Amino acid sequence: MPKRSDIHSVLVLGSGPIQIGQACEFDYSGTQALKALREEGIRTILLNSNPASIMTDPARADRTYIEPLTLAVLEKILEVEKPDAVLPTVGGQTALNLAMEAHKSGLFARLGVQLIGAQPDAIERGEDREVFKKLMDELGLETCRGGFAHSLEEARELLKVTGFPAIIRPSFTLGGSGGGIAYNVEEFETIVLRGLDLSPTRQLLIEESILGWKEFELEVVRDLDDNVEVICSIENIDPMGVHTGDSITVAPALTLTDPEYQRMREAAKAIMRGVGVETGGSNVQFALNPEDARIIVIEMNPRVSRSSALASKATGFPIAWVATKLALGYRLWELPNAITQKTKAAFEPVLDYVVVKIPRFTFEKFPTAQAVLGTQMKSVGEVMAIGRSFQESLQKAVRSLEEGHPGLAGALEGKLDLSRLREHLLIPGPQRLFWLYHALKAGHTVEELHRLTKVTTWFLREIEEIVILEGRLRGFSVDRLPEELLEKAKRAGFSDGQIATFCGGSDFEVKKRRHALGIHPVYKRVDTCAGEFVAETPYLYGTWEYGDASEAAPSDRPKAIVLGSGPNRIGQGVEFDCCCVQAVEAIRASGVEAILINCNPETVSTDFDTSDRLYFEPLTHEHVKSVIRREGANGKLLGVFAQFGGQTPLKLAGRLDAEGVTLLGTPMQAINDAEDRERFGQVLQKLAIPVAKWGMASSLEQARTIAHDIHYPVMVRPSFVLGGRGMAVVFDDEGLEKYLREAAAVNEDQPVLLDRYLDGAQELDVDLVCDGHRVAIAGVMAHIEEAGVHSGDSFGVFPPLGVEASVLETVKAQSRQLALEIGVRGLMNLQWAVKDGVPYCLEANPRASRTVPFISKATGQDWAGIAARIGLGQTLDEQHVQDGVALAVAVKGVVFPFAKFPGVDPVLGPEMKSTGEVMGIGDTFGEAYAKALVAAGIPLPLSGTVFISVNDADKGKLKELAGKLTSMGFGLCATEGTARHLETVGYKVRRIFKVNEGRPHAVDLLKNGEIQWVINTPLGRDAFFDEGAIRRESLRLKIPCLTNMNAALAACEAVDTLRSSLTVRALQSL
């Protein structure tokens, strides 16, 4: 049966900004879905608020709406575009929730739009835990004991059934948000109350503990003929108790017998049918009691998920593409297997390698949050590695994390306090794998560790084998390394660098020894079928085998390598993947073969058909160099692009350049001129560009002297940072000393930079491209918050409204001068701070920046592609590129993960904390800002009372703020200082207590619903406790809390716009 003939246009719902629990895996799925639809000649309409994604590139859909994912917006778009159907299953929980909301409101019925992929009743059955549990009972499938509560009283009743520890999960939340494990009554009640608040249906599932059971996931697809296939099985190394998104996982499931696996497969089939998932991909989670092999069903997602992305990359089976085709009515056997071309999508992929996924955490960004893992997801990204043994894949994955580990052996050597071993094994944290390794190394037994962690013994024994190998390696010097041991070590995933550490010597010497013995990596293809059929698609990974049966087969064409951006983390996320993909496409369109290296399974860049050849490898020198060696063996390798993947490839550039690899685009000297503060300082001096006073210190003494010289407050940071890692503003000697004690521990070899902190300055972000002769300014964005808030955490507006024309011209002219002077070939990002009409250059990044995708969408120009073509030798003139022009007012908004880290003060500073961004597009600043706020989940109130508490520096703007608020009818309340000031400028204000002054205080009023909006700029250390409590409570109650005066003023304009109805526009009509 061919595809349905009644569907000619489809609206695809995206997943919005990157958040913990919902990251760029949905860029992968949405992009595949759009591709699958367009191949069928279907008109595609996309709604997604995330400008950093590749799917919102206007070339991917016929109509691209970067608008908030709300019912009102959806309604408007449906009315205008009149699609036949809406596809809600490729945009994560956000898309599914919006589709359900629209369905319940009767919107689809009213407009005659149908849902494809999953029907509302199936979504309900899969997502509503209560309904799902009942269904499992009917299907005769076991679930765990427990039930549903809608209040604390009901929860207490259930506790009698489950006992402690009890697992609490709120319904319909992202990534298990708000869930937890309670071991006592107090914990139980805290988690229940939080969960009830977070669940949109005020519903909680409370269950017996199955902590320590083995955890598995099956990725399943089903077509309209009820053909069901399991695409991939995944086993969690971290047993039940750690969210699967935070677990180290392996594919396929390794420790199951066939009968055990088939029981899960049969159950998954029954669940797909029972829930009634019509078409497409879903995942089902199981737990297995290792004591008696009892299997229970945990949950299912009736949509493409994070695990689907992982499963797609792990198998080569494009789940989202297939799911979309199935939603159009195709049957599995009518679709080709994209990798073999000759066989069909109707089969189950088989692997002849082992895949390991390790999540990437950023607890260092939230020092007050407990680095403990539980049922609520906390990781911000992940890496995947492919190898021919579990040990090899595990070590490759550890290296891919880019946390400085050479592999598992040697990671955190001497950095773990083994006296705290027991607690770190008992309570799972982000570094448990390393604790396990060092515990085994210290002589603890596998049995003992299994007792403490419940990690399946087999995995522990494999880790133990790596420990043993490390010991054997230590017995030899590099030149004496026996061939057999070296081969064994490489097969167990040891890098040359690791071996060098254990044998003494350098990785270069190990490589020399290896080459002398003829030990080279081979490249194998991921082909879905374990070699049974010929793979047409070069999706490759490196491994170690006897002989040279390599399937890389480099072509004889000219080619260029693009280095990817590795795992998502705060500071380096999907936007860099977007740049890599744009660059790859520009390279391919120029007639050059594009080869991509990356290790992030969530991305579009690692789709096997994005590049001509994909190497799924860690982004380390050895792995990258091996690929270069292999690809250089045939055809003309033009060089390597290091400017699209953020800081990751830039870190590799120096050594590649030193070893004679050609860097395409910006040369190494220019990278150093921009990155090295001393050299950059000289360039600025030469061009007479003002710079905030600064200095570099390598001791505390020196730092203090410099600080006094440039005057407090100063901004301190280690050099070579991304995302403001380790950056802080200090106000006095005491603060500086405290900072240096902590920062020195992070970066012992590198000096510290001190900059004068330009308080009250206006920050500007400049993105440009330079071909060595001419510069095109892609865009200048003005931060809405003042300098001091990390640029990644700031809302920003483009064009830079409110910035004086003369200042803007100066900034542009000086940016051009800088790019030419440094010798940039391709993209560069500059940050400026304007104080008293003078622009100061803060820093230059000779690479794609976080804002390039945003600016690309706002100007309708593919800047990464332009930069890639410059790298291949085309000038700006040849490309007919001029400065970017704003097509509308665009505001970049950001989202923060504070809700995932209970107790963390949601205040902004120079350290980046946001996970994702949104874009608001409008005719006016107010409209664009209002949309950005809504999209970021900060819906401003249209009426009510505003609580204002600002620091002295901000009091000058209080009058303007109060005027705007009162004219719109808002009531004002404030604490003593601010209230007094407001009264002196003539405003009526209700006085309320600070938290430590008496009651009812600000937090009481928040709880009582008497405050709808909080404007609170930090008052300094004395008020720390008070303000923290207010901000945390606002966050919990989802009351907008702005911590910056400029943002607050801008928000007044936004409220004004929100009161009239918003209009929507597609990028294609700008």
Residues forming contacts to another protein in the complex (CB under 8 A) are 1, 225-227, 229-230, 252, 254-259, 261-262, 265-266, 290-293, 331-333, 342-344, 346-354, 388-390, 456-458, 461, 491, 522, 524, 529-534, 545-547, 549
Between the alpha carbon of residue 990 and those of residues 58, 788, 845, the distances in Å are: 49, 31, 48
Secondary structure of residue 319 in the 3-state scheme: helix
Q: Per-residue DSSP letters for 590-626?
A: TT-EEEEEE--TTSSTTSTTTSSEEEE---SHHHHHH
Using the minimum distance from each CB to another protein, give the nearer residue, 544 or 576: 544
Using the minimum distance from each CB to another protein, give the nearer residue, 227 or 967: 227
Using the minimum distance from each CB to another protein, give the nearer residue, 336 or 802: 336
Phi-psi region of 1028 (alpha: psi -120 to 50; beta: other; left: phi over 0): alpha
Would you say 526 and 540 are in contact if contact means Cβ atoms under 8 Å apart? yes
Report in angstroms how near the CB of residue 269 gets to another protein at its nearest: 8
Report in angstroms how near the CB of residue 135 gets to another protein at its nearest: 21
Using the minimum distance from each CB to another protein, give the nearer residue, 327 or 728: 327
Report in angstroms how near the CB of residue 278 gets to another protein at its nearest: 16
Using the minimum distance from each CB to another protein, give the nearer residue, 294 or 636: 294
Distance in angstroms (rounded) separating the CA atoms of residues 489 and 486: 5
Distance in angstroms (rounded) separating the CA atoms of residues 586 and 115: 35
Would you say 327 and 359 are in contact if contact means Cβ atoms under 8 Å apart? no
Distance in angstroms (rounded) separating the CA atoms of residues 1013 and 939: 10
Using the minimum distance from each CB to another protein, give the nearer residue, 373 or 492: 492
Using the minimum distance from each CB to another protein, give the nearer residue, 549 or 688: 549
Report in angstroms how near the CB of residue 264 gets to another protein at its nearest: 11
Alpha-carbon torsion angle 696, 702, 707, 708, nearest 10: -140
Amino acid at 1020: G
Report in angstroms how near the CB of residue 352 gets to another protein at its nearest: 4
Q: Per-residue DSSP letters for 126-151?
A: HH-HHHHHHHHHHHT----SEEEESS
Report in angstroms how near the CB of residue 547 gets to another protein at its nearest: 6
Which of 351, 324, 321 shows the shortest CA–CA distance to 337?
A: 321
Q: Per-residue DSSP letters for 845-906?
A: ESS--TTHHHHHHHHT--HHHHHHHHHTT--HHHHT------SSEEEEEEE--GGGSTT---
Report in angstroms how near the CB of residue 464 gets to another protein at its nearest: 9
Using the minimum distance from each CB to another protein, give the nearer residue, 347 or 1013: 347
Report in angstroms how near the CB of residue 331 gets to another protein at its nearest: 8
Contacts of 915 (CB under 8 A, 6+ apart): 17, 18, 19, 20, 23, 380, 570, 573, 895, 896, 897
Report in angstroms how near the CB of residue 530 gets to another protein at its nearest: 4
β-strand 354-360 against 249-251: which pairing, if any?
Answer: antiparallel
Alpha-carbon torsion angle 630, 631, 633, 634, nearest 10: 150
Is the bond preceding residue 428 a cis peptide, omega within 30 degrees? no
Using the minimum distance from each CB to another protein, give the nearer residue, 331 or 613: 331
Using the minimum distance from each CB to another protein, give the nearer residue, 230 or 1005: 230
Report in angstroms how near the CB of residue 742 gets to another protein at its nearest: 42
Would you say 385 and 618 are in contact if contact means Cβ atoms under 8 Å apart? yes
Report in angstroms how near the CB of residue 240 gets to another protein at its nearest: 16
Report in angstroms how near the CB of residue 750 gets to another protein at its nearest: 41
Which of 358, 853, 307, 920 shows the shortest CA–CA distance to 577?
A: 853
Report in angstroms how near the CB of residue 561 gets to another protein at its nearest: 24
Contacts of 801 (CB under 8 A, 6+ apart): 782, 889, 925
Would you say 83 and 10 are in contact if contact means Cβ atoms under 8 Å apart? yes
Token readout for 436 is 């396990």
Report in angstroms how near the CB of residue 457 gets to another protein at its nearest: 4
- Cα angle at 9 between 8 and 14, to 5 degrees? 150
Report in angstroms how near the CB of residue 146 gets to another protein at its nearest: 25
Sign of CA dihedral 314, 319, 320, 322: positive
**DSSP state letter for 84:** S
Using the minimum distance from each CB to another protein, give the nearer residue, 529 or 904: 529
Between the alpha carbon of residue 505 and those of residues 395, 411, 467, the distances in Å are: 21, 18, 20
Using the minimum distance from each CB to another protein, give the nearer residue, 459 or 925: 459
Contacts of 350 (CB under 8 A, 6+ apart): 528, 529, 530, 532
Using the minimum distance from each CB to another protein, give the nearer residue, 1 or 633: 1
Report in angstroms how near the CB of residue 315 gets to another protein at its nearest: 11
Report in angstroms how near the CB of residue 540 gets to another protein at its nearest: 12
Token readout for 720 is 């070579």
Using the minimum distance from each CB to another protein, give the nearer residue, 335 or 934: 335
Distance in angstroms (rounded) separating the CA atoms of residues 909 and 729: 8
Would you say 778 and 855 are in contact if contact means Cβ atoms under 8 Å apart? yes
Report in angstroms how near the CB of residue 447 gets to another protein at its nearest: 11
Using the minimum distance from each CB to another protein, give the nearer residue, 349 or 926: 349
Would you say 973 and 990 are in contact if contact means Cβ atoms under 8 Å apart? yes
- As a 3-state breakdown, the chain gives helix, strand, coil percent values, each rounded to 5, of 40, 20, 40
β-strand 889-895 against 796-798: which pairing, if any?
Answer: antiparallel
Using the minimum distance from each CB to another protein, give the nearer residue, 446 or 918: 446
β-strand 1041-1042 against 1013-1016: which pairing, if any?
Answer: parallel
Name residue 229's beta-bridge partners: 221
Using the minimum distance from each CB to another protein, give the nearer residue, 88 or 349: 349
Using the minimum distance from each CB to another protein, give the nearer residue, 439 or 872: 439
